[in-house]
Structure formats: C-alpha cells, structure tokens
C-alpha cells in the first residue's frame, strides 16, 4: 500500500492535460517618436532611446569621438514607444492575462488602448499588470510614454531641504538628479565612463496568460548540513486567482492545500543523504541539483517549472581576534581566501550585451582562478544569465544594492519604490547558490565620515543629524528588515568599505578600499605594507589596445593632447599620474603607442604586487578583489579586460598570482 501511495503523484501527473498557461515576448513591431512629434520610426526592444536614434540615423555612434557631449540633449527630452498587439485565442480566453515588464527605464506611463495601466518610476523593478478586464478586442495598442529623468526630478532637487551629494555627476552638470532617480548611477557618469542618461524598454516585455493559479517563484535553502545529510527547505510561491484545493509537487513530494485568491507560499522540508555540495572555483565542484515543481487542481495540470539549486552554507566571520577584527567567508564550514574583482555593467546600454559576452567574460574569470566577483552598487542588478553562469562556474557573488557614492532622500515616495525594488531583486536573486553577501551600498558610510561632505555642502548640525538618520533608516533598517524576511540565511553588511585607508589602525579591521596607490599618489611599494583584513577595492589605470580605441575614434585622435583623448580620460589625475609611474618604474614613453603599452605594464606590476602582498598576508588578509574586471566603453580605466573583450597585460599578472595562491594554500 505504501509503495502504491509513493507512486500516486507520478500517476496523477501522467494523466493530466497540457499546461494551459504560457508567455510570449513582445519584442517586434515597436516604433518610437519624440513626444512633440507625430512621426514614428521603428524601434528595437529591448533597447534604449540612444540605440534607436543611432540605428535610424538620427544620431551617430554614441561612443564615437566626442558624441557624448553632442548627444547630451537627449537626456532632457520625452519619448513615446508603442506597438500593436493581436491577442491569441488562448490569451483572450484565459482566466488571467498579465503584462510583464522586466525593466522600464525609468519614468514611464503605460497605456493599454486608452487606459492608464501603470506609472513606473524605477529602472531596477519588474512590473506585472493585470489586463484581464481590458480584453475588449483582439487588436490593442500598448503605448509607453517615457519622461526625462532630468526633467522629472528638477523640482524635487530644488525643493529638497538640503543639497545631496551626487558623487558621480561632474561639476558641469546643472541639474544633478541621480540621487533622486532609481536608475543605474554609472549612466550619469563616473571616473571611468561617460554620461548617457536615456530611457527605454531595457529588459524583456511580454504577455503571460494563465488559469486558476500559477507558480510565481521557487527558492531552496540549506537549513542544516552535516557529512551525512543536508536538511533543505523549498519555498514555492504561488499566485492564485480562484480559491480551491491545489496540489503542489516538488519532485516526488506532494501536498494538497486549500488556497484562497491571492499570493501564497507553500513550504517543503526534505533531506538529501550524502549531499554533493556547491563549492567555489578552486575548492571543488559547484554541484547543482535540479527539481521539477508542478501545480495542479484535480486532474488538470496548471503549471510546472524546473528549479536549480546548490547545497551549501556560507558565513561571514567578523570577530575580534589577536589582530583586530576579522572579515572572511566560510563556505561549508571551510575558511575561503577570496580572490577576484569588481564587476561593472558591460556597456552603457546593457540591453545590447549579448549572451556570448557574459559567457566569455565569466569564462575568463574562471580561467584566472577567481572565486568571487563583487557586483558594484553603481550599476544594475544583473540579468539571470550572469548569476546562472556564476552558479555553474563556482564564482561567489558579493552583491551590492544599487546605491553608490551619493546620499539619497528618505521621503515616502522614494522609500516606497526602494521597498518594491528590494522585494523584486532579493526575491529574484536569492535562489542562486553563488550569492555570498548582500551589501547595502558602495562608499557612502566612508564618504560621510571622511570625505568632508558636511563642510563641502554646508550642512548644519541639524542637517547632519537628519541626513545620518535617513542613512540609518535605509541601510540599518529598511534593507535588513527585508533581508530578514526574505533571505535571512545570507550575511549582510551596511556598506563597503567598513574601514578607511587613511588611518593605519583601520588596516586591522573589517573591509578596506585602499586608494593610496592612485588617489593618494603612493608608490607601488606601498601595496606591500597597506594591507587590510579584506581588500575590496584597489587598482591602477591603463589604456586599452590601439585597436580598441580605433573602434571609437580616428587615428588622428590617438594623442594624449587631442581633444577626443582628453575627454575620454575621466579620472581627475589620470594621464599625468600614469605618465609619472611609467617614468618612475619603466622609462619615459616615446609616443602614444609606447604610452599605451607601458601603461598596461605598470598596471600589471601594480596588480601583481598588490595581490602577492595580500595573499602572503594570510590570515591577516583573507580576501582581495581588485578594481576593476571589465569596461563599459572603450577608454582608459582600471580594467584588466577592455570593452571589446581584449585582455590587458594585467590580466595575465592577476591570473598568475591567483593560481600561485592556490598552489601555496592548503
């Protein structure tokens, strides 16, 4: 009898009908226009306004020469996108029809025919809009009206009680709105990239139809782990449209539960004997398990999904010790020396980054012996493919929330959209075993305490108290509360770094961004003695190869004194400091080509010296993440792989030192 019952779920599934649900992408038939024009041009979706204008001949290549300046007008304009949709019979007849938007950049009003269905305000959010009551005809028009982020926030900036630092926006920018805009900060400019503030449908958009209920999300966590078994819990999140008894199955386990209309979570506890663990690159196989999740009502199958997960535990150890305060990761109970880099978005227009670029870049990461990447907080929460590849390759992820180098308002409107952003992205990313740490922000705490913002912006003691209270509300309350509810198994730190490199004592405590070499103009030998407990940022600039530069400028521009090259260098000390180091550690550059090669050589020397010092300082130092892995456009930066995927000389230096670290560690 028991054997028969164990087969019952399989028998029931074998006699069900086809899954009466589905999704189709709406990536064809789009057109766009300026908000003040009646003339439409064809558009590419996913995409961006800059790419659409370029593809239709309205502007040149945004990366070409000084087009960054010439195209600055685009950020102040409003744009309209539309497409005509013919609903299928299944979409017309299904219980529920939803419009799913994985990414709208940023302020947008969506109209289904003449009905306003959404007002979006956050590039980092996903949106789901119920269209069930709007299916009056088969042919429909979906229109999206994008408003300029600059125009949208001008009045908010002016009306704010005090001026907020927007660390990435240059002094030439009149209206600094990035602090008020939930949009990728690097698109407003940084010291390694240009300013292209655009809009558009930057991630997939589609229609989903379903009946009665559907599987919304799946998350498996490791509750306990021993050498004999692993105790797991799988959470299946469901959306229910019709109250009824539903059967939910995770592989051979099955539950029948009465669910009312709304959102629900059903939990499955299970044990895996002799589990194969997920290990990071260099310590073992990053084993991944697969499960099939099914949803049914009576004898009708409603939905099913495949789910991958890894069995592992991860801890961040921050304890007082004989040195000061430790900062290191333990994976499956084993201390890990973290080796890796800081990752930034691969393009100013992330919609055009092809799958192959992710595959090639993360292949290089694995090849170089890295076991961790930090997804930096001035970019974007990356697409699923990025995290899937890190799962497969054993690359742990230090995940920043998207706050960097600025202060932010704490009004109800802003905090409400941030809350939804947290729910969307914690919910989406928590299922990945590669995720090792949530970090609140990049460099805001160290900036507040050490960069002199209080004097620079003329804050009164009352202002300062209010600003710090707003900071704590966001990073010590709002974010930790959501993590405690949605992903309590993963460690969290409020900011990176937790110690400032300007004070010698701080090298014995917590995490460190060391910029004595570069911003402090220290010599390369200073890497030998300025070693923190966990080095999250450090680096040295170089130029990409001539062939990479020629893809975005004329041969006549290949001169440090040319206007094009001067504007391509975004660091305030850039070319002069590189030249000083070339002369000090090699010999003066003879021409531009020699300058490029020697800049890469000095960078390689810097990376080799820093990483060797960090590795040899174990256990004082237990992690080294250099700045930066990759580029978002062709120009000078701290990257070891340029925008075209070409490896600089420093890549080999990094690889050699990381592989050496594996050979000397037990």
In this predicted structure, what is the pLDDT of residue 666? 62
In this predicted structure, what is the pLDDT of residue 292? 97
CATH 3.30.420.10 fits 22-207, yes or no: no
DSSP of 333-386, one letter per residue?
Answer: TEEE-EEEEEE--S-SSGGG--HHHHHHHHHHHHHTT--EEEE-TTS-PPPHHH
From the number of C-beta atoms within 10 Å of its C-beta (0-12, 13-18, 19+), residue 40 rates as middle
In this predicted structure, what is the pLDDT of residue 3? 34
Q: What superfamily in CATH does domain 322-664 come from? A: Glycosidases (3.20.20.80)
* C-alpha torsion angle, residues 415, 419, 422, 427 (rounded to 10): 180
Cα–Cα distance measured from residue 565 to residue 540, given in angstroms and rounded to the nearest whole number:
18
In this predicted structure, what is the pLDDT of residue 502? 86
Cα–Cα distance measured from residue 126 to residue 128, given in angstroms and rounded to the nearest whole number:
7
In this predicted structure, what is the pLDDT of residue 138? 83
In this predicted structure, what is the pLDDT of residue 231? 97
In this predicted structure, what is the pLDDT of residue 21? 82
Q: Kindly give the residue spans of alpha helices, DSSP state H, lying in 550-591.
A: 563-568, 574-585
In this predicted structure, what is the pLDDT of residue 362? 98
Residues of the chain with CATH 3.20.20.80: 322-664
Cα–Cα distance measured from residue 432 to residue 394, given in angstroms and rounded to the nearest whole number:
11
In this predicted structure, what is the pLDDT of residue 20? 67
In this predicted structure, what is the pLDDT of residue 83? 98
CA-CA-CA-CA torsion sign (450, 456, 457, 459)? positive
Report pLDDT digits (tens) over 262-275.
999 999 999 999 99
Q: Which of 506, 15, 620, 591 is nearest to 301 (CA)?
A: 15
Residues of the chain with CATH 2.60.120.260: 22-207
Q: What is the mean pLDDT of each run of 10 residues along the chain (666 residues)?
A: 35 46 95 98 98 98 98 98 96 96 98 97 98 90 98 94 88 88 97 97 98 96 95 97 97 97 97 97 97 95 96 98 97 98 98 98 98 98 98 98 96 96 98 98 96 95 96 97 97 97 93 97 97 98 98 97 96 95 97 98 98 97 98 98 98 97 80
The DSSP 8-state label assigned to residue 276 in this structure reads P
Structural element, H or E, at residue 271: strand 262-273
Report pLDDT digits (tens) over 136-182.
888 999 999 999 999 999 999 999 999 999 978 887 788 899 999 99
DSSP of 29-76, one letter per residue?
Answer: S-EEEETT----EE--SS--HHHHHHHTTSS--TTSTTHHHHTGGGGG
Residues of the chain with CATH 2.60.40.10: 212-309
In this predicted structure, what is the pLDDT of residue 174? 81
The class of domain 212-309 in CATH terms is mainly beta
């Amino acid at each position: 009898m028991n054997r028969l019952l164990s087969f019952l779920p399989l028998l029931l599934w074998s006699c069900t009908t086809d899954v009466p649900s589905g999704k189709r992408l709406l990536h064809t038939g789009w057109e766009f226009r300026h908000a003040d024009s009646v003339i439409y041009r064809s558009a590419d979706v996913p995409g961006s306004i800059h790419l659409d204008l370029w593809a239709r001949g309205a502007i040149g290549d945004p990366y070409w020469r000084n087009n960054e300046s010439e195209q600055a007008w685009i950020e102040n304009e409003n744009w309209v996108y539309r497409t005509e949709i013919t609903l299928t019979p299944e979409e017309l007849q299904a219980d529920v029809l939803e419009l799913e938007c994985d990414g709208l950049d940023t302020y947008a009003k969506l109209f289904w025919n003449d009905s306003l269905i959404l007002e979006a305000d956050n590039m980092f959010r996903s949106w789901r809009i119920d269209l069930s009551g709007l299916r009056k005809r088969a042919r429909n028009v979906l229109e999206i009206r994008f408003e300029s982020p600059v125009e949208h926030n001008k009045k908010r900036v002016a009306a704010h009680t005090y001026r907020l630092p927007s660390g990435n926006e240059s002094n030439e920018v009149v209206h600094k709105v990035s602090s008020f805009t939930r949009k990728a900060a690097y698109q407003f400019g940084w010291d390694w990239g240009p300013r292209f503030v655009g809009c558009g449908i930057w991630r997939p958009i589609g229609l989903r139809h379903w009946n009665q209920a559907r599987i919304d999300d799946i998350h498996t966590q490791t509750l306990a782990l021993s050498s004999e078994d692993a105790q797991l819990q799988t959470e299946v999140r469901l959306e229910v449209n019709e109250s009824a008894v539903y059967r939910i199955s995770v592989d051979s386990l099955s539950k029948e539960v009465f669910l009312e209309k709304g959102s629900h979570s059903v939990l499955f506890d299970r044990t895996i004997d002799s589990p194969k663990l997920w290990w990071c690159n260099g310590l073992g196989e990053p084993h991944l398990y697969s499960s099939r999740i099914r949803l049914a009502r009576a004898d009708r199958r409603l939905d099913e999904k495949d789910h991958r997960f890894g069995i592992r535990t991860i801890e961040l150890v921050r304890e007082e010790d004989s040195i000061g305060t430790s900062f290191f990761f333990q994976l499956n109970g084993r201390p890990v020396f973290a080796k890796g880099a800081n990752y930034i978005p691969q393009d100013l227009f992330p919609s055009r980054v092809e799958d192959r670029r992710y595959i090639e870049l993360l292949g290089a990461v694995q090849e170089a012996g890295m076991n961790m990447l930090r997804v930096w907080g001035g970019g974007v929460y990356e697409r699923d493919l990025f995290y899937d590849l890190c799962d497969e390759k054993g690359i742990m992820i230090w995940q920043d929330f998207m706050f960097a180098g600025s202060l932010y308002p704490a009004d109800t409107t802003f905090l409400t959209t941030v809350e939804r952003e947290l729910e969307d992205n914690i919910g989406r990313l928590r299922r990945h075993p590669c995720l090792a740490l949530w970090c609140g922000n990049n460099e805001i705490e160290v900036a507040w305490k050490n960069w002199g913002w209080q004097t620079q912006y003329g804050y009164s003691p009352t202002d300062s108290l209010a600003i710090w209270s707003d900071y704590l509300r966001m990073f010590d309350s709002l974010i930790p509360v959501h993590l405690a509810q949605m992903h309590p198994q993963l460690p969290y730190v409020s900011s990176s770094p937790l110690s400032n490199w300007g004070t010698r004592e701080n090298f014995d405590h917590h995490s460190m961004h060391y910029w004595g070499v570069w911003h402090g103009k220290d010599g390369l030998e200073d890497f030998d003695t300025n070693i923190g407990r966990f080095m999250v940022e450090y680096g040295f600039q170089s130029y990409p190869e001539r062939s990479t530069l020629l893809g975005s400028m004329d041969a006549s521009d290949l001169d440090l004194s040319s206007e094009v090259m001067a504007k391509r260098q975004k660091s305030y000390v850039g070319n002069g400091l590189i030249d000083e180091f070339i002369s000090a550690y090699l010999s003066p550059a003879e021409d531009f080509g020699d300058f490029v090669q020697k800049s890469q050589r000095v960078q390689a020397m810097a990376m080799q010296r820093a990483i060797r010092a960090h590795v040899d300082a174990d256990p004082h130092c237990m992690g080294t993440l250099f700045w930066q892995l990759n580029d978002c456009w062709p120009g000078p930066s701290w990257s070891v792989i340029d925008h075209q995927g070409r490896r600089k000389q420093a890549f080999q230096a990094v690889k050699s030192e990381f592989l050496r670290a594996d050979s000397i560690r037990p």
